[in-house]
Amino acid sequence: MQALLELDCIPARMELFPAANEDQWTLIKKVIDDCDYYLVIVASRYGSIGPTGISYTEMEYQYALDQNKPIIAFLHRDPRQLPSSRCESSPDGQQKLTTFREFTQQKMVKFWTSPSDLGSVVSRSIIVLMRNSPAVGWVRADMFPDKDATEEILYLRDRVAELEELLEASQTTAVPGTEELSQGEDSVELEYHTDTTYDTNKPVKKVKSTWNEVFADMAPAMIDEVSEGNLMNAIERHIASRKNPRNLNEFKCRLSDDCYNSIVVQFRALGLIAKSERIKKRSAGDTGAY
């Protein structure tokens, strides 16, 4: 008992619940149900016999086993060394005790020889048991939230999850009123320069495509987070496929900044792309947008 109290455990000794009738046995089962662990100490007595012919101690052990409670049995190493006044006197009781000891050894079991030894064995064993089989445990009543607070916490948690879903959906869903925007198989003119030296005085050239075709060539690059530069390269490869489909590498072009911005704004308005909100480690020199 002292060993368990020193480990902040709350022992529920079965001796405090004398099993003399069915109602008290029901109480004992409830106590076992409420416990996190079940420990049984067996010396040299089988215990009080129940209506089924087995002792209440064995009935308790079997019930705890049926409820899948973490169990440890502490058996006296040599019951024959105990005084005869503390030993089972009847041959039938001795046989049942032997059978019960053998039965408990099918699960975790520890042996002891004296009261002080028992305290040490219990302390070490329960520490290991709690580590290997963590249980719910108990808290003070004034530290447990009342029903109203619990319901409010659950409501707020569900509400947060609902709002997070709405936020995620809003980032990938077309804004209401965008039905009239150019999209799908509607035609779009892509503006580009064949001079890749970024000379703004060079004439702008145009090629026709559709929004679906442009997005089809952009989409593979956006399976994962993509930089603006790589996204622009994907559109430039799309232009090359329109101008020189047989040899894309021979056609060099640079998408105009205005055209790129228009495409990005259009697809964001349609809910097809979104600015990356991921927290990702990048090099100090990486100042690009994604």
**134-181: per-residue pLDDT in tens?**
888 877 777 766 777 778 888 889 999 988 888 777 666 666 666 678
204 pLDDT tier (thresholds 50, 70, 90): confident
pLDDT of residue 20: 52
- What strands, in cross-sheet order, belong to the sheet with 205-210? 205-210, 187-193, 254-255
**Dist. CA 47–CA 89, nearest whole Å:** 11
Topology of the domain comprising 2-141: Rossmann fold (3.40.50)
**Dist. CA 132–CA 146, nearest whole Å:** 31
pLDDT of residue 148: 75
Q: What single letter denotes the amino acid at residue 232?
A: M
Q: What percent of the chain is predicted at pLDDT more than 90?
A: 25
**Dist. CA 72–CA 39, nearest whole Å:** 5
Taking residues 222-245, what's their average pLDDT? 88
Convert the chain into a string of H (helix), E (strand) and C (coil). Answer: CHHHHHCCCCCCCHHHCCCCCHHHHHHHHHHHHHCCCEEEEECCCCCCECCCCCEHHHHHHHHHHHCCCCEEEEEECCHHHCCHHHCCCCHHHHHHHHHHHHHHCCCCEEEECCHHHHHHHHHHHHHHHHHHCCCCCCCCHHHCCCHHHHHHHHHHHHHHHHHHHHHHHHHCCCCCCHHHCCCCCCEEEEEEECCCCCCCCCCCEEEEEEHHHHHHHHHHHHCCCCCHHHHHHHHHHHHHHHHCCCCHHHCCCEECHHHHHHHHHHHHHCCCCCCCCCCCCCCCCCCCCC
Domain ranges of the chain: 2-141, 178-269
22 pLDDT tier (thresholds 50, 70, 90): low
**237-275: per-residue pLDDT in tens?**
999 888 887 777 778 888 998 999 999 998 888 888 888
pLDDT of residue 286: 66
**Dist. CA 164–CA 167, nearest whole Å:** 5
> Which residues touch 18 (CB under 8 Å, ≥6 apart)?
24
Please, are residues 35 and 12 in contact by the beta-carbon 8 Å criterion? yes
Please, are residues 71 and 108 in contact by the beta-carbon 8 Å criterion? yes
Measured over all CA atoms, what is the biggest interatomic distance in the chain, rounded to whole angstroms?
Answer: 113
**168-200: per-residue pLDDT in tens?**
776 666 666 666 787 888 999 999 988 766 666
* Predicted confidence (pLDDT) at residue 18 exceeds the cutoff of 60: no
**38-74: per-residue pLDDT in tens?**
999 999 988 888 888 888 899 999 999 999 999 999 9
**Beta bridge pairs of residue 254:** 193
